[in-house]
Structure 1
């Protein structure tokens, strides 16, 4: 088993062994002037630094109590936004998202007459945002965050003048701090310490969610009211679920019976899929899994810093809004889990292959996030991009996919195989995620 200390040591040692190859030779401004004429462009830096910061971020999600999937998606969104905004002025074809996102404006901008080291600004932004979002993590993890900062600060400043180093660090820090201050107003602040608010009372009624374990208060019941990144995602992108019914000739009964039938005939491959995509407690969670796919691909493509920043921010903003949308549906419809339905109407002693999470059923968060991720990655890398998922190596064998849709569908259907979602919950959630991501992609990233 890889321990926390082992991980941190491997991260720091491996990065120190890499050959230095990063640099090859006041008010809101939505479209800042590029500083490329003075500064080396963001495209002149490689992907080592941002992908290693992401690895640490995913580790912190796994190792910090309270980082449930919606909370994890939120931290990844703001970190990716800080990354993008810290380098966008070094991307001549791109535009800042300041003033385009819901409630996010007034981000600091660089002085177009001065030189900046975009990689140094970006690294500082990641350090600053992680320190703010993970104040509740362990002391050892805090040391790890600071160690990665020191490593990249020493590495990336080579070749830059002292004034350039100072202003680049200041820019990255100021952008991250401004973004963090804005994040306090989105409704999700400190979600990691309030997963199960004691003041919430679950509504009753026929077909409503009932606890399936010892956790009586459901997870993050107010999360669906959070402010989305895209204003368009404030709208409900989720279809109404099937009308609830215990009648044996109803469409709802047929859906529950399908879950039961699948569970009684699970193949070894379906069990493996259910376990592989469980992404439960003590893991990097579903949004972390999707981000790891993005990380795998940008490294495979040898993407430069500018490309990584654009990929990450599109994935991050989409996942944030996808989880808000899914959680909005969960507490608006408050639908019971298949296990409750099946034990009441089909088989009294039945239990799902996976353990039920402590919150209402509709819609599947896994599926909603998968749909959003697929929409983004297809828009960037195309619909026929083949890749290999090594997220849980060596615990589980790597999984190979011919395209993003195959990955998304397998992620979504894993919840039916696990017995914890109806098929319509997965299908509708997946479609919702695609709509959410389209609204993110409709923002103006390019000039």
Structure 2
């Protein structure tokens, strides 16, 4: 955890003529948090939780200065009232916000030293000649972080860590772990996590999936056959799309008896990156940038709760298991099958939810270049809108061979409802 001694010591070097650097520092902070999440191999739902609380801390700090923006207090049940803006003590709010962001994120990851190393480098850009302003800013950032972490501690996360091991159903058509790692079920109790905006995790329960049947003429087997046929005739562009949106933090390499992980971005991390690139392209100021990150983080967080609620209700078998059992035992999907049930498609849900809120904040026809995957060896892709990006993310799961069409289409319906609900419940901007 980012303690007072370690963080305070590394920040002491950052003092020296008052200035507020550009919002690029906020984007750098997000990237450093993402790299730490990737390094620690957090599951997609847990990653969304880290993004939520770190960004809430930054936003709530900036709102203390910009009163036209709206705190989560009074909008979100049990959200604390953040104090500090009434003080006459001079404060650099962007400095305080980044301190709150790093301190909160540091409490939620394993490798806090990776964040600590980046704190001094980033906050050194705040050249404050007045040590009083500097210290006041750190104190405010810490106070906000403490409030957010106290709120986070009551979201049932620790309770879900103590649940019994997931018991697999032996009924036909139910999900079982898949090759090559046969990894146990990931976050089977995530629906118990406290949502930011929902009345309950079941609020946006989708239509049930097609009923399992091995009959080749059944709707279920027709959907499985589509996955099989599509993946055997992929174009180069379809392969690129599948890999661009892979975002599987559990990817396992197998070479003979040697198994090792390749660390990858989570789906939520990809959309946090898109939010940051879009905010930078739109040249948003500090508070508007922070609001964009936060509304995206809320959509992701609540989207995962809704999606995971359905996954472990329907417990639907993955295409890889069905195709190997009934169509072709030698077939393998282009992408590695993630370790949780099939229905609905997580990427379809959260991508659509994120696209809905970003469209509201930045516009229906917001054109952007997504460079997220470049550091993972893939070229940038250009999108005419956030909707176009989420549609591509969704269909990528069919190209990758890891989802049936019903999970993709109903996942997007579910994500649309989540995104619209978040917008109806939270007002951040003036």
Q: TM-score range by the shorter chain?
A: 0.7 to 0.9
| 1:359 counterpart residue number | 340
| 1:286 counterpart residue number | 267
- Which of 411, 421, 427 is matched with 2:409 structurally? 427
Structure 2 unmatched ranges of 5 or more: 1-9, 250-262
| 1:29 counterpart residue number | none
- Tell me if 1:208 matches 2:174: yes
CA distance in 2, matches of 1:150, 1:168: 15
Offset from partner CA, 1:220-275 (integer Å, 9 cap, x none): 11112211111346343131222322333322222111111111211111111111
TM-score by length of 1: 0.83
- Alpha-carbon contact 2:204-2:418 (below 8 Å) kept: yes
Superposed counterparts of 1:132-171, under 5 Å? 132-134=107-109, 136-137=110-111, 142=113, 144-156=114-126, 158=128, 161-171=130-140
Instruction: Describe the SS at the equivalent of 1:445.
Output: coil
- Tell me if 1:177 matches 2:153: no
| 1:123 counterpart residue number | 98
| 1:88 counterpart residue number | 63
After superposition, the Cα gap between the structure-2 partners of 1:258 and 1:152, relative to the gap in structure 1 and judged at 3 Å, is: closer
- Alpha-carbon contact 1:101-1:229 (below 8 Å) kept: yes
CA offset at residue 190 of structure 1?
Answer: 9.6
- Alpha-carbon contact 1:364-1:421 (below 8 Å) kept: yes
After superposition, the Cα gap between the structure-2 partners of 1:90 and 1:129, relative to the gap in structure 1 and judged at 3 Å, is: same
- Tell me if 1:444 matches 2:427: yes
- Alpha-carbon contact 1:238-1:429 (below 8 Å) kept: no
CA distance in 2, matches of 1:405, 1:340: 31
CA distance in 2, matches of 1:102, 1:331: 26
TM-score by length of 2: 0.86
| 2:40 counterpart residue number | 64
After superposition, the Cα gap between the structure-2 partners of 1:267 and 1:197, relative to the gap in structure 1 and judged at 3 Å, is: farther
Structure 1 unmatched ranges of 5 or more: 1-11, 24-44
After superposition, the Cα gap between the structure-2 partners of 1:179 and 1:413, relative to the gap in structure 1 and judged at 3 Å, is: same
- Alpha-carbon contact 1:120-1:157 (below 8 Å) kept: no
CA distance in 1, matches of 2:191, 2:145: 25
| 1:26 counterpart residue number | none
- Which of 200, 211, 214 is matched with 1:243 structurally? 211
After superposition, the Cα gap between the structure-2 partners of 1:233 and 1:89, relative to the gap in structure 1 and judged at 3 Å, is: farther
CA distance in 2, matches of 1:210, 1:63: 27
- Which of 268, 286, 292 is matched with 1:305 structurally? 286
Instruction: Describe the SS at the equivalent of 2:85.
Output: coil
CA distance in 1, matches of 2:158, 2:174: 28
Return structure 1 stretches of 4+ with deviation > 6 angstroms: none
Instruction: Describe the SS at the equivalent of 2:204.
Output: coil
Moved more, 301-310 or 345-354: 345-354
Give the aligned length. 399
Offset from partner CA, 1:293-351 (integer Å, 9 cap, x none): 11111122222101111100100111011111111111011000012222233233322
- Alpha-carbon contact 1:202-1:217 (below 8 Å) kept: no
CA distance in 1, matches of 2:78, 2:412: 27
Instruction: Describe the SS at the equivalent of 2:373.
Output: coil
- Root-mean-square deviation (CA, aligned residues, Å) is 2.4
After superposition, the Cα gap between the structure-2 partners of 1:322 and 1:186, relative to the gap in structure 1 and judged at 3 Å, is: same
Offset from partner CA, 1:376-404 (integer Å, 9 cap, x none): 11101111111111112151111111111
- Which of 283, 292, 304 is matched with 1:323 structurally? 304
After superposition, the Cα gap between the structure-2 partners of 1:396 and 1:306, relative to the gap in structure 1 and judged at 3 Å, is: same
Instruction: Describe the SS at the equivalent of 2:157.
Output: coil
| 1:256 counterpart residue number | 224
- Alpha-carbon contact 2:288-2:429 (below 8 Å) kept: no
CA distance in 2, matches of 1:48, 1:278: 27
CA offset at residue 175 of structure 1?
Answer: 1.1
- Tell me if 1:46 matches 2:38: no
- Alpha-carbon contact 1:68-1:285 (below 8 Å) kept: yes
CA distance in 2, matches of 1:316, 1:417: 27
After superposition, the Cα gap between the structure-2 partners of 1:232 and 1:434, relative to the gap in structure 1 and judged at 3 Å, is: farther
- Alpha-carbon contact 2:33-2:115 (below 8 Å) kept: no
| 1:405 counterpart residue number | 387
- Tell me if 1:267 matches 2:235: yes
